[in-house]
Every structure is written in C-alpha cells, then in structure tokens.
Amino acid sequence: MLDIRFVRENPEAVRENIRKKFQDKKLPLVDEVLELDAKLRAAKTEANELRANRNALSKKIGMLMGQAKKDPAKLAEAEEVKAEVAREAERLAELEKLEPELDAELTKRMMTIPQMIDPSVPIGPDDSCNVEVQRFGEPVVPPYEVPYHTDIMESFNGIDLDAARRVAGNGFYYLKGDIARLHSAVLAYARDFMIDKGFVYHIPPFMIRGAVVNGVMSFAEMDAMMYKIEGEDLYLIGTSEHSMIGSFIDQIIPESDLPITYTSYSPCFRKEKGAHGIEERGVYRIHQFEKQEMIVVCRPEESMDWYEKMWRYSVELFRSLEIPVRQLECCSGDLADLKVKSCDIEAWSPRQQKYFEVCSCSNLGDAQARRLRIRVRGADGKTYLAHTLNNTVVAPPRMLIAFLENHLQEDGSVTIPEVLRPYMGGTSRLEKKK
C-alpha cells in the first residue's frame, strides 16, 4: 500500500506505474482515492473546527450564566448559545460517523493500487517477458531418456498418488522410503545452510488471522491461494513468510536490531486455482508441500543489497547440490501488487530441456510494513517503516524434480552429492527397487 501523501503529490507517477503493470482497469482508482482523501480531510478539518468552537462556546455559556445573576438578559443570550452548540453537536455526530466510512473506502482502494516498481524492472505484460540475467552451471542433456519425475519416484517405490487421491483428492501425495528420506534431507540441509549464513531458524504458526493475511498479500493473491478455516478468523498459510512477517504486526523495532534475518520451515497450503499444463501434473503444482524460507526485515537503504544477497544464496545452495540454475528477472506484469522487484531462480530440467522455477526472491519495499504497521525507531527517536524481503530456500517436492532429473544415471540410480550425504546416513547412491 502506498503512502497517501505520495499519491496526493504524484498522481501521474502512480498512474504510469499502473500502466507499466498493464492494469489499466485500475487507473480510475487514482481519482477515486484523491476524491475520497479530499472528502476525508475536509470532514476531519470541519470536525476539528466544530470541537474547538464547542469548547469556546461552552466557556461563553459559563460566562453568560455567571453574568445572568446580575443581568437576566444574559440568560436568554446563553440559551441562544446553547442552541448553537446543539446544532453543531448534531453536525459533529454526522461527521464522526462519516469519517470512518470514508477512511474504510479510501483504505480499500489504496490496498488495490499496486506498489511502485523499481526502475530496473523490465516492462512486459506477463511472464513471457521475464528476462534471463545469467546462468550458473552447465545444463546437460544426457544421452539416455529421463523419465517423468513421478515415474522416477515410482522406480524407488517412493510415491503413492492413488492412495493420496483416495484420502484427500487430487493435488496431494504420499512420499515413501528413500524419496521421503531425500525430501527430509534436502530440507534439513537447507535449514543448516541458512543457519550458517547467520539466519535464525524458526518454526512458525501454520495458521494466521485475517488481519495478517491482508497485511502480507493482495486481495487477488489471497483469493487464489488461501484456504480459510470455516467459522474461524484463521487461514492456512501458503508460505511461512506470512507467519514470519506477521509476527512484527504493530511492532516498533529498535534500529539497532536491524537487519533481522530469519529462516523458517513450514508446510504450505495453496488452492492453486486455474488450469495448468501437463508439466504441472505429478507433484509440480500441488495443494500441500513443505518449504524452507528466508525473510529479512531491514532499513530501506539496505533492502536492495539484501535482495542481491538472498537470490545469490539460492544459487549457491542449488549449485552445492550440483544442479544448474539461472536467474530470471520478473517483468512488471508478472509482479504481484505488493512487490517492488522480484526474480526467479530456475533449475535445469534435463527431461524437458528447459529451466523451471524453484525459488522466488522478492523485495516488497515498505508495502507489508505499511499494512502491518511495522515501524523502526531510529537513533534520533523518530520512527519509519521497515522494508521486508523474502525468498525460497528450497521447496520440495518441486525441488526434488530438479534433483532427481539432474542426478539420474543411465541404470536408473540417483547419485547423492557429497554435501547431502550426512543427511542421508552416508548414502552416496539410491538404487532402483526391484
């Protein structure tokens, strides 16, 4: 959510930002916001003037009543002033009722206007305009066939989708045996990798209140992602970022505590609305998965530096697991409304002979902080809004797709990189089950 003063002083810049995000249907919101803001400020000004006048008139009534003992004519004058106070009290009551109504309408529209994007963001309407920045590692296409990821998992007796459909429906899975162990090993390695980078490990609540949901994401994202608990003001989280950023709601953080760097584990629950292509069957796009996340709360002038560090951590982790990746800069039309800048880290798929998303790093500027009222108290005693960032560390089982495809051998076995072997009981290779 933008600062209303910024919208008031820079309406054309806000409109141009909306155009860059290819959301022209939102252009009328700017004029609506300006009109509501003017009405709200006028109502507040009038109400304050009425309160000040009421105080002055109350003193005048007291003075006239005191004088009425000697001059009865003052009593009639006092009654006239009382009548004026009553009329103004009626108007003040109207304004006090109007103010929250105007404020709610203003806030509703302000929360729909997208965040100002960084000047470096490439302009384009959708993800087809995302820009490859650089590659890390050499993508290899082996001379033998790489099966679909669920077929690889089934060769290790490591997945049961049929049982999951019977229990929960489509979009769920059972992982078993070596594949389940590999899943847990990757998460444990990612946890320790981030701890070694100085991030504090957390396991957060897996449900959050509506006020936190509204603070961490846009209405469109919420509708597409979040599962609501019936009869409760609680939602299942789509990522632990929601709980972690939400933990700072209504807090004033001493500047000396910044930057705050957390890494968090959680299951994630997503509706995943909409139709998806054949490559998103299996365990690519599902309703439940587990993820290791990183989040940073920092000073505004440090957020772009942290953005660079965070996506590079993802690259370092995947390269340590011997998986080729690339960085893809997200274009304006592919940015969620709260994001200032974002990039994806995509892993190489030898089977598809293309890259696919495994991490998403985002700088949200002060958008979440403004919605959640997360402030920082500087050394001078003044407060300002923090900046927040988040990035995926790993999100199996999707990450397992990249892992299995890149480590699959011609005989159907899967090699385990050296850094992961301590988490797999020293195992260096997974063998197919007969």
Q: Which two tokens stand for residue 12?
A: 């054309």
Q: What's the confidence (pLDDT) of residue 70?
A: 57
Tell me the pLDDT tens digit for each residue of 77-135.
Answer: 666 767 777 777 888 899 999 999 999 999 999 999 999 999 999 999 999 999 999 99
Query: pLDDT by residue (tens digit) across 188-226?
Result: 999 999 999 999 999 999 999 999 999 999 877 888 889
Q: What is the identity of the amino acid at 307? A: Y
Is the CB of residue 362 less than 8 Å from the CB of residue 341?
yes
Predicted local distance difference test score (pLDDT) of residue 275: 44
Confidence class of residue 278 from pLDDT cuts 50, 70 and 90?
A: very low
* Alpha-helical regions (H) of 111-176: 149-155, 161-167
Residues 299-310 have a mean pLDDT of 98
Per CATH, the number for 127-430 is 3.30.930.10
Q: How many C-beta neighbours within 10 Å does residue 8 have?
A: 14
Q: Which CATH architecture has domain 4-110?
A: Orthogonal Bundle (1.10)
Q: Residues, the chain, total?
A: 434
Q: How far apart are CA 432 and CA 178, in angstroms?
A: 10
- Give the percent of the chain with pLDDT over 70: 93
| Number of neighbouring beta carbons within 10 Å of residue 125 | 14
Q: What is the pLDDT of residue 68?
A: 64
pLDDT computed for residue 280 by the predictor: 55
The pLDDT assigned to 115 comes to 97
pLDDT of res. 88:
79
Give phi and psi for 298, each to the nearest 5: -150, 180
316/332 Cα distance (integer angstroms): 26
pLDDT-based confidence at residue 236 (cuts at 50, 70, 90) = very high
What single-letter amino acid sits at 95? L
Closest by CA to 407, choosing from 315, 318, 314, 323, is: 323
- The model carries a pTM of 0.90
Residues of the chain with CATH 3.30.930.10: 127-430
Longest CA–CA separation in the chain, Å: 113
pLDDT score of 82: 72
270: pLDDT strictly greater than 50: yes
Least confident window among 88-102, 274-288, 341-355: 274-288
CA 219/CA 1 separation, integer angstroms: 12
What digits encode the pLDDT tens for the residues 7-51?
999 999 999 999 999 999 999 999 999 999 999 999 999 998 888
Q: Which two tokens stand for residue 416?
A: 């385990």
C-alpha span between 382 and 79 (Å, rounded): 48
Produce one character per residue of 396-419: b if its CB has 16 or more CB atoms within 10 Å, e if not.
Answer: bbbbbbbbbbbbbeeeeebebbee
Residue ranges, comma separated, of all CATH 1.10.287.40 domains in the chain are 4-110
**Can you give the pLDDT at residue 81?**
65
pLDDT at 153: 96
Q: Which residue has the tokens 């440090």?
A: 302
